[in-house]
Structure 1
Amino acid sequence: MTTGYQSNSNENGAHEDIALYSGAIDRAAYVRQKIESGLTLAEANAEADNVISSAINQRYNRNAVRSSYDYIVVGSGSAGSVIARRLIDSGKGTVLLLEAGGSDQVTPVMRPELWYTNPGSTLEWGHVAMPQTHVNGRAVPLTMGKVIGGGSSINVMAWVRGHKTDFDNWAAAADDPKWGYKHVLEIYKRIENWQGKPDPEYRGVGGPVWVETAKDPIPLAHAMVQACDQVGIPAYEDHNGVMNERDAGAAICNVLIRDGRRHSIPSAYLHPVLHDPKLTVLTGAEVHRVTMEGKQVTGVQFFWNGQLHMVSSTCETILSAGALNTPRILMCSGIGDPSKLNPHGILVRHALPGVGENFQDHPILAGINWEYKEGSATPPRNNLAEAMFAYKTDPSLDQPDILPWLFEVPYASEVNSQIYPLPAAGWGIHPGLMHAKSRGRIHLSSNDPRDRLRIESNFLEDPEDIQTFVRAFDICRQVANAPAMDDFRGREITPNLKGDELVNFIRNGVITYRHQTCTCKMGTDEMSVVDNNLKVYGLEGLRIADGSIMPEVTGSNTMAPCVIIGERMSEILISQ
């Protein structure tokens, strides 16, 4: 990804709780800062007690790792953090949460405007798809978080629930209405702490997830929503309300930003229970395999502090490592398609052909940019992407098939940025395919869990995806050329391309929204990996709860749907 944006923010403003937790400030300084922020002395002391007890508890637990826990959760992302919290709250037993990455209390995570620096950094795995013919031989990076919070700690902070049809399709695939829109909507209402206009039918308050509409968006963002309305895409006050049941709509986006800081899923779920002695969180713990006795999964093998460790689970092991690493762990454990495992000398412990298949993502066309009209440029705010719209490029579809976002900085792929150089001040409208027809797959490159995966993304392999992008290119230009954008629209960086020139622009411009999913899908057919209760078919003691279980990727950003997966997994485990 190439942008024309450089942050001018300074390095001040580290979170007081984290500074105390890590020892960067002492208790007296912490209490003084809290009082200055408006708390009473008693309230400030109570918060200090909680932070200190959390730090002591986790330091103790890390130094006294047990040989067995009731539950092992692999991955602390948008599903894993939820599961750990719900299990602790339920009193079901002890929980070991293993995270391969490090702390989320670092500046690029906490400061919303720096999210664009996270891809390619030490905060992510560095996965890259194999070079693919249909994107002109390019190897597209597939960013996935390697830090407490996973993708929720490095992403663009957009809280987009998904369309009604998405969840009803999941319910049909799983043959279970609890995965349908009606039940999922109630979960969303229960977990949200919505800061916008009250809407009891669609929004909830009092839950752990602080959701707000992007505060004080730049004038360009409001103009784009108005422009959408002018070309027949209705404007909505809230895209997570009734718009999720409609064919099209535009809105200022919902974000997980609180008091100017990223409100990641661990911020909502995990941090408040770090003081609980039943919870142990290990960072830098890279899980290599699950351990098995026959068809019973007994625990995990992981690399931590320079050594291999084995820990057992008395109840369940839950893989929440994401759509790339969860199938890796399964295959390295001998669980998967024998034709994929045998070439690497991996003993097949359980044949399951769907592991690593059905890879889906949201490819985005990066590079539809305009220069700001002279005198109209405004520094970007919030997450640098404050407005979006959903649209059906084909009227016969049952839901929108593209989700373009306004980027408040010029933005393009590594190729298109060379062909069409980015301006110093500009903006773009970049469409993502929400339901691409192309499918990919995940392979091991060896029997060593540390080796790079071979990922066949197969972006644009299906010709229909090219045609959808062609239609998306046209609608994005219609929005940008609507009267509401007149005050901001300067030179078009990518003129109105046609025919083969446009197709080549698309092949050079496709990157990804980083919504890798569907590689261990939930369902009832022979390629399904988990059932409706997220139990791995044919095995005991092993479940999967992350984006890999989606039968089809949602027509939305995937953080919020992954939280739903974590909540559903929690409902299932706690009801046992």
Structure 2
Amino acid sequence: MENTEQDFAAAVRANQATLRGALKSSYDFIVCGSGSAGSVVAARLAENPEVRVLLLEAGGSDEVASVIEPAQWPLNLGTERDWGFMARPNPHLNGRSIPMNMGKVLGGGSSINVMLWARGHRADWDYFAAESGDDAWNYASVLKIYQRIEDWHGPADPARRGKGGPVYVAPAQSPKQTATLMLEAARSLGVPTFDSPNGAMMEAHGGAAINDLRIRDGKRLSVFRSYTYPRMAQPNLTVLTKALVSKLTFDNRQVTGVEVLIDGETRTFHAAREVVLSLGAVNTPKLLMQSGIGPEHELQRHGITVRQHLPGVGQNHQDHVSFGCIWEYREPQEVGAGGSEATLYWKSDAALDAPDMLHCQVEFPVPSAETAARGIPEHGWTMFAGLAHPKSRGEVLLSGAQADDPVVIHANTLSDPDDLRAARNSVEMCRDLGNASAFSSLVKRESLPGQLGPQDMDAYLRDAAVTYWHQACTAKMGRDAMSVVDSQLRVYGIDKLRIADASIMPRITTGNTMAPCVVIGERAAEMIKASHGI
């Protein structure tokens, strides 16, 4: 088995070295970005040996320990494998600028994330279908995709789970006591528990469960490794790393290809059929705007010729925000796979269409830079009280017209007063969970936030707010004036250009965004294949 893997790895290296050494000027499809959606699109298109695919990734290799070893994911933050975005100072967060980390490596976010597989709620997908006017995006349709692509290694659920697909998913193996006690605490508060946070739990009010993870034999499984890597010995799939897409090229309103910075030089590649943008919810709108597609006032501000006025590009920015609640252990505890083994989704109001609370348990203390000053235990655990559907909306803007000009992110976290109220409710529920009798044998005391008055609690929330790293919705799918793509993910007013990443979400999904991005990639590939008869 090991020799077979080594032989294949050698074949991949040799093939990709040959392809890189003899780059073509034209490919059938150019996919920009190798993250959770782009990896899927490139791999699915390359299934046809007659189709020539170029996959471009600004980052480098994923063959590093901090990507492969699940527990080492925090070591990637702030390194060359992280775009290192920062939101602008926010008056609603006491003037703080919060980090907005994003993967810059083969596999994108799926190579540096916490490996959670979270499908999204039934209501999310039905909302996608309603906004796009296309039932192929509804929950019933998407459930079939999940069943087709999953290789589920957990309790049998044939109505919802699949076997034998490219996406290995399993519940956290031998979860630590912190995770199992969280489920016990949830039950004591009247929250039901499930075998999985996907399936039935995401079809009603929510619940609590041990996490589904993308870990096999103690190693991370990125989407790139599951989809793209197995095809990299093929002569029709070229994967270029350290390749920064800087501009789209055009013939009038038709995209003809891309300009790419490689080793400090600009190369132009022609796309005979289509270009697919899978650069994520920050870099996709950046590239669109710098190529002349976006709000005309923003483009004109930077001297960019307007090719297509689309006011929604860079707007509708959404992200899951969370607030760390921390407890001190009586005795040091082991950290499980990736450190996050249990989760809870719940509705603060039964009338809501989907859970508004998104709680992630982490088996070590994780304060923000500001709350750390309040005192953090040496040994403890964190419950992140998150907002699954915040109402605050941000925007992504340009600082200049060049590829090396940094992007401007106004996340506007907690700018909607309803989000502050929701944060109070979410933190109170977290505190009820962590202080439940189920934890009495494990926990010595609550470290943060503790019992605070209303004003002090609001100040804590503004200091504690951090991102779940789920930026989305900045090139949304829909039919209104602020929509950027149609139900087929085609950019309005532009030919031969589609977007397949989290930016097309009309609203952010309930939970971590990797799994929905895989579905977006699968849908994009299906539609492209149908359009071109391949």
**TM-score, scaled to structure 2:** 0.98
After superposition, residues 65-214 of structure 1 pair within 5 angstroms as 65-91=23-49, 93-214=51-172
Q: Distance in 1 between matches of 2:193 and 2:11?
A: 47
The code of the aligned residue for 1:205 comes to K
1:53 is displaced (CA, Å) by: 1.8
> Which residue number corresponds to residue 350 of structure 1?
308
Q: Given the alignment, which residue of 359, 380, 395 partners 1:426? A: 380
1:52 is displaced (CA, Å) by: 2.1
Q: Which moved more, 1:275-284 or 1:47-56?
A: 47-56
1:337-382 alpha-carbon deviations (Å, 9 max, x no partner): 110011111111111111100000001112x111012x3x321010
Does the residue aligned with 2:238 lie in a helix, a strand or coil? strand
User: Is residue 90–residue 574 contact of structure 1 (8 Å, CA) maintained in 2?
Assistant: no
Q: Given the alignment, which residue of 437, 443, 453 partners 1:483? A: 437
How many residue pairs get matched?
530
The code of the aligned residue for 1:429 comes to M
After superposition, residues 292-371 of structure 1 pair within 5 angstroms as 292-366=250-324, 368-371=325-328
5+ long unaligned stretches in structure 2: none
1:12-52 alpha-carbon deviations (Å, 9 max, x no partner): xxxxxxxxxxxxxxxxxxx8xx2xxxxxxxxx3x4444322
Q: Given the alignment, which residue of 506, 519, 522 partners 2:474? A: 519
Q: CA RMSD in A?
A: 1.0
> Which residue number corresponds to residue 225 of structure 1?
183
Q: Distance in 2 between matches of 1:258 and 1:493?
A: 34
Q: Given the alignment, which residue of 441, 446, 452 partners 1:497? A: 452
The code of the aligned residue for 2:265 comes to Q
Q: Distance in 2 between matches of 1:466 and 1:66?
A: 53
1:92 is displaced (CA, Å) by: 5.5
Given the alignment of the two structures, is residue 445 of structure 1 paired with residue 399 of structure 2, yes or no?
Answer: yes
Identical counterparts, % of pairs? 45
Q: Distance in 2 between matches of 1:53 and 1:429?
A: 45
Q: Which moved more, 1:457-466 or 1:109-118?
A: 109-118
Does the residue aligned with 2:356 lie in a helix, a strand or coil? coil
> Which residue number corresponds to residue 20 of structure 2?
62
Task: Assess, with a 3 A threshold, how the Cα gap between structure 1 residues 254 and 264 changes in structure 2: closer, same or farther.
Answer: same
1:497-523 alpha-carbon deviations (Å, 9 max, x no partner): 220000000000101000000000000
Given the alignment of the two structures, is residue 280 of structure 1 paired with residue 235 of structure 2, yes or no?
Answer: no
1:248 is displaced (CA, Å) by: 2.4
User: Is residue 196–residue 213 contact of structure 1 (8 Å, CA) maintained in 2?
Assistant: yes
Q: Distance in 2 between matches of 1:477 and 1:506?
A: 13
Q: Distance in 2 between matches of 1:337 and 1:528?
A: 12
Q: Distance in 1 between matches of 2:142 and 2:295?
A: 32
User: Is residue 92–residue 574 contact of structure 1 (8 Å, CA) maintained in 2?
Assistant: no
1:159-215 alpha-carbon deviations (Å, 9 max, x no partner): 011100000000000000000000100100110111111211011010001101000
Does the residue aligned with 1:411 lie in a helix, a strand or coil? coil
Does the residue aligned with 1:61 lie in a helix, a strand or coil? helix
Q: Distance in 2 between matches of 1:532 and 1:506?
A: 37
1:464-522 alpha-carbon deviations (Å, 9 max, x no partner): 00000000111111111222111112121121122000000000010100000000000
> Which residue number corresponds to residue 196 of structure 2?
238
> Which residue number corresponds to residue 221 of structure 2?
263
> Which residue number corresponds to residue 410 of structure 1?
365
Does the residue aligned with 1:448 lie in a helix, a strand or coil? coil
The code of the aligned residue for 1:430 comes to F
The code of the aligned residue for 1:391 comes to W
> Which residue number corresponds to residue 342 of structure 2?
387
Given the alignment of the two structures, is residue 466 of structure 1 paired with residue 420 of structure 2, yes or no?
Answer: yes
User: Is residue 435–residue 446 contact of structure 2 (8 Å, CA) maintained in 1?
Assistant: no
> Which residue number corresponds to residue 542 of structure 1?
497
Q: Distance in 1 between matches of 2:452 and 2:50?
A: 59
Does the residue aligned with 1:345 lie in a helix, a strand or coil? coil
**TM-score, scaled to structure 1:** 0.91
Q: Distance in 2 between matches of 1:454 and 1:219?
A: 42
Q: Given the alignment, which residue of 329, 338, 346 partners 1:372? A: 329
Q: Distance in 2 between matches of 1:440 and 1:509?
A: 19
5+ long unaligned stretches in structure 1: 1-30, 35-43
Q: Distance in 1 between matches of 2:6 and 2:210?
A: 36
User: Is residue 392–residue 416 contact of structure 2 (8 Å, CA) maintained in 1?
Assistant: yes
Q: Which moved more, 1:165-174 or 1:238-247?
A: 238-247
The code of the aligned residue for 1:164 comes to R
User: Is residue 67–residue 73 contact of structure 2 (8 Å, CA) maintained in 1?
Assistant: yes
